[in-house]
Structure 1
Amino acid sequence: MSQVSQTDLPAFLRDCQQRCAEQMALHLNNLPYMPLRLTEAMRYSTLLGGKRIRPALVYASADAVADSTPADADVAACAIEFMHCYSLVHDDLPAMDNDDLRRGKPTLHRAFDEATAILTGDALQALAFQIIGDADKIKGELRLRMLRVLAQSAGCQGMIAGQGIDLAAVGKSLNVDELETMHRLKTGALISASVELGALSAGCTEPQTLEALRRYARCIGLAFQVQDDILDVISDTAVLGKTQGADEARNKPTYVSLLGLDGARRKAGILVAEAAEALSSLGPRARMLDAIAGYITSRRH
């Protein structure tokens, strides 16, 4: 990233969105022997919008431990965003949340069909691992660590476990600790992986630095979900790009339902403050990570 964008969060986020989208398009354009409809569905679910918060965290984390953003950060950014997009495609399916809108457009199973959506999610998940595995410019030991981080965050120790808890919790009462466990897995795990993968892509293996980044990531991962719960109440469908009030309609437990709107806002503020404290040992190079933490709880979609 440019040094100018390092002091300007909106510019930095735009740079990240453009850089990641260009790299993702390259990967999708290089897929051999793909049925045209499946290729179109993969492009539809990945390239037509999105905040790209996870890639931005990859790049910001790499910047925080290196003098400049390494090219290898593109590998991590694309892998984490393909994994995230797969999760959205499957999360929207009739058997899961049965949503009609995603990023202001019809969800993939509505725009194409349910079978194509399932295959698209499967293909994007596999592609995320393939991108890292094929990155022969990254040392083998680092690639193995990156693959392990991605697998743990996306699978039964992370996102999938959280999704399972979420499905089982519909119509049931959860306390705040149980809700936190669910969201640390469902949403927070991939966000944490984004930060760690960014550091690893820059060659950082220093235990204290990685632990500081993990503490930061745990805080913002939860803060992201708290803000999502708030927006589901106060925003509208046109701004969100997805159906407003969907959680309440499905009788899902949320931070707003448990803490109230003001309580949820206080929770988000506390988490952002804790994230900033976790970064204190990293100095000024971590300023963009700090800025992203504030953005997460001030965004409107």
Structure 2
Amino acid sequence: MDMQKRIERALETAIKHATAGNQPPKIAKALRYAVFPGGARVRPRLCLAVAMACGDDHPEASDAAAVAIELLHCASLVHDDMPCFDNADIRRGKPAVHSAFSEPLALLAGDALIIAAFETIARQCVGTPHLIAPLTGTVAKAVGMPHGLVAGQAWESEDEIPLVEYHRAKTASLFTGATMAGAIAAGADPQTWRAMGDALGAAYQVADDLRDFAANEAEIGKPCGQDDANGRPNAVAAGGLDATIARLHDLVGRTVAAVPDCPGAPMLRDLIAGEAKRLMPESLASRAA
């Protein structure tokens, strides 16, 4: 089974568990709507790619880690789009969850996805109980306080927002968590993978800033210019377009260089190169070549 099919199958299983039985039907629909159809599934693909590069000795644990990471990412998108944050009506080319189902249901759907993420780890790792605690701790650290995704979102409520710390928490932390969780699931040392996750997360945030600045809604499936509209830090606004493109190339190079020696290293390097190309806005492709 290829990686994408493996991820979608595992996500389907998780959502079936979260919506089974005599559940409130509207929120059950909202949960499925928030997860399917997905985007590029970058974070779970990264998690599985690292697990596979390390031998993938415990595939059920690898799947659980990848699903948890993606469910948490989807939850963050649901909450981030709400009027109290970005007030964005479009996500992945369709109405955002709060636009399609109401703000109360969007709030609850995001909460339910967070809970489902950790429930998935507990359920799927019954055969490898020694992995439950390290996976739960690693994933929780990537999304919580003091340096995870919640902290990144919280910086937006401060009077002054430090660009580097804001981006590290809001975006890079989940990439680092995905990388380290993939290693843990495969029985490898997660610390040897931290540098790659950090660099890739930073690269993704720089690419996201470029897309917010130079792409269009049809290209990325969500409103552009959100950073400027909401008064948020943006790498392009802070350093200029050319410097930001150069920064992205530097971070991609660092990510490739940080891939530890392992049988799956070539596959990982190809994945990183493909993501870097995909994330560059079409209007900047020739300029970045």
Report if TM-score (shorter chain) is over 0.5. yes
Unaligned runs of 5+ in 1: 2-14
Count of aligned pairs between the two proteins: 277
Partner of 2:106: 117
Structure 2 residue 33 is the aligned partner of structure 1 residue 52: no
CA distance in 2, matches of 1:238, 1:92: 17
The one of 31, 34, 39 equivalent to 2:28 is 39
CA distance in 2, matches of 1:287, 1:249: 40
TM superposition score normalised by structure 1 = 0.87
1:50 match: secondary structure: coil
In structure 2, what residue type is equivalent to 1:18? Answer: K
CA distance in 1, matches of 2:233, 2:103: 27
In structure 1, what residue type is equivalent to 2:99? Answer: R
Partner of 1:203: 187
In structure 1, what residue type is equivalent to 2:270? Answer: A
CA distance in 2, matches of 1:240, 1:54: 17
How far does residue 28 in structure 1 lie from its aligned partner after superposition?
Answer: 1.6
Partner of 2:153: 163
Structure 2 residue 238 is the aligned partner of structure 1 residue 251: no
Partner of 1:292: 271
Unaligned runs of 5+ in 2: 282-289
For residues 106-127 of structure 1, the C-alpha deviation after alignment (integer angstroms, 9 at most, x for no partner) is 0000011000000000000000
| Contact residue 255 and residue 264 of structure 1 kept, 8 A | yes
In structure 2, what residue type is equivalent to 1:165? Answer: W
1:131 match: secondary structure: helix
Q: CA RMSD in A?
A: 1.8
TM superposition score normalised by structure 2 = 0.90
Partner of 1:18: 5
Partner of 1:194: 178
Partner of 2:286: none
The one of 188, 203, 221 equivalent to 1:241 is 221
Structure 2 residue 42 is the aligned partner of structure 1 residue 62: no
Structure 2 residue 164 is the aligned partner of structure 1 residue 180: yes
For residues 212-252 of structure 1, the C-alpha deviation after alignment (integer angstroms, 9 at most, x for no partner) is 31100000001000000011122111011000112122232
| Contact residue 206 and residue 235 of structure 2 kept, 8 A | yes
How far does residue 67 in structure 1 lie from its aligned partner after superposition?
Answer: 6.2
For residues 171-230 of structure 1, the C-alpha deviation after alignment (integer angstroms, 9 at most, x for no partner) is x5x5xxx311111111111111111111111122x3xxx223110000000100000001
1:219 match: secondary structure: helix
Partner of 2:285: none
1:42 match: secondary structure: helix
| Contact residue 60 and residue 286 of structure 1 kept, 8 A | no
CA distance in 1, matches of 2:199, 2:231: 26
2:85 match: secondary structure: coil
Structure 2 residue 235 is the aligned partner of structure 1 residue 264: no
2:196 match: secondary structure: helix
Partner of 2:87: 98
How far does residue 295 in structure 1 lie from its aligned partner after superposition?
Answer: 2.9
CA distance in 2, matches of 1:67, 1:17: 16
| Runs of 4+ residues deviating >4 angstroms | none
| Contact residue 43 and residue 66 of structure 2 kept, 8 A | yes
